[in-house]
Structure 1
Amino acid sequence: MAYKYILAAGATIAVIIASLFLTGLVPVSAKGNVIVTLRDSETGKPIGKVDSGYVRVMLGGKDQGYLTDKGELMIKNVEPGTHELVLVVPYVGEVRQYVEVGPGETVTANVTVNMPNPEFLVTINVDQPWYKFYEWGNIKITISNTGEIRSVGTKALVLVYREDNPDSPADSHILDFGYLSEMGKTGDTKTLEWGTWAFEPGTWEAVAVVIFDGWQFTPQNKQVVSQVTLPPDAQERIVASLLNYAEQHSIEIAETIAKIVIGWFG
């Protein structure tokens, strides 16, 4: 802007006043952003929608809405300073963390929690009446949930292996347990029967059980628990076979292998 001063002698002096802008400097009062992410510490999966609910987000005591299905949320226009971040997670409760935001800064708050999940104790039983050429055994599978949350869509893939071919199951069956209540509540243990199966006398057969569960935070567990003593080579071949078989049929059962047990032979 220009101002003109008129002097007594009639001369005119133009004084130019200009504004100076310095690029690259951010005013101290500039606001920042906070990106919130939430994951399960055991499975690494994002936590967004849990059953029919979502994770609620509070920052500095103000409601910011909910995490997305991907377990993320961007909070914009956050005042510089230290803010308390509170996440209200279904089945867990409140999770608190402090976030430091600088002027014009975007910071990420990566939060992890250990989501509850079912855990399974498996018992394999074969009732074995004797006949001349076969031992007709009634295969029963018992599953107990020893976890702190009920299971979802729990199924057991039952495989029978014979001594003469430990690389391929002689037969298989899927038992649908539905759900098992959390430990200590009615329905935390169920027993289902496959039915009778012809075991051959004079040789061994192994019954292997692979437990699948549909709860989204059930950890993948492919460690094999053997309740019997098999020849080492045979057990290795059975384990390789059942893992391959289970993975091939995972779509029709469930995504997550939660337990593998080899529990009977005779």
Structure 2
Amino acid sequence: MGENGEMQRAGSARFQEMHKMGAGFVMPNPWDAGSARILEQMGFAALATTSAGCAVSAGYRDGVAAVSRAMILENAAAIVAAVDVPVSADLEDGFGPAPEVCAETVRLAAGVGLAGGSIEDVTGGPDGGVYEIAEAADRVAAAVEAAQEVGFVLTARSENYLVGRPDLRDTIARLQAYGEAGADVLYAPALPDLDAIRTVCAEVDKPVNVVMGLRAPLYSVTELQEAGVARISVGGSMARAAYGALQRAAAEILGQGSFGYAAEAMPGAELMGMMRGDALDKRDL
């Protein structure tokens, strides 16, 4: 195993341990290397990519299969290279229906230094549906086998609530099946309320990730920890917050002819102080 492989496995082991500490930790989602550096230096101990942030930063919509696996992994590799904390990736639906494709996606993800990643059970087809539980569990099992080969924390996602299937019992059954298939972490985005979150945490035997910032209601870190949540992510909400600030600044200039937004901008010296300062040998390359 090379130095990069050793670093990836060390990061994965550290990431795995974070889920065993008993209290939910916050794992925010940068959308590029610069935002990752800021979040790391603000004090977060782990980060995760966001498919939505990756897509939008490249000028594409999320959720319409417009972003390739290569683009997702290139974005993830840049984030991994920019920070020293473990990074998990949004690997969407594994980029193919076949279990072996999900497994290959995991191997490639580990190859760019990622400590972990998530696989969704959404079909990605025109109906916006989800795989049958048995088929979805087979996909998870293949991803888990690959994850164990390379040292990788595998998160399995039930997308029911994101595709118009607000069925808590089915969601729990899916998460239980994915846990039995070997997933390290379980995740059901957009659960409707704290009671549902508490129920999921009580009925599965693996750490649970919950996303905040996606839609209301929004709960505090303390409330989620008390509900049994092991990990809290924010999806594309930080990217949307940044783009919202850009939109407001542009609207002020166009509508008022003023530049007051600059008073709330991050000072240039502070921002540059968080970025790399390594000079290139030849800047024209």
TM-score past 0.5 threshold: no
Normalising by structure 2, what TM-score? 0.24
Q: Which has the higher helix share?
A: 2
Normalising by structure 1, what TM-score? 0.26
Q: Which has the higher strand share?
A: 1
Which is higher, the Rg of structure 1 or of structure 2? 1
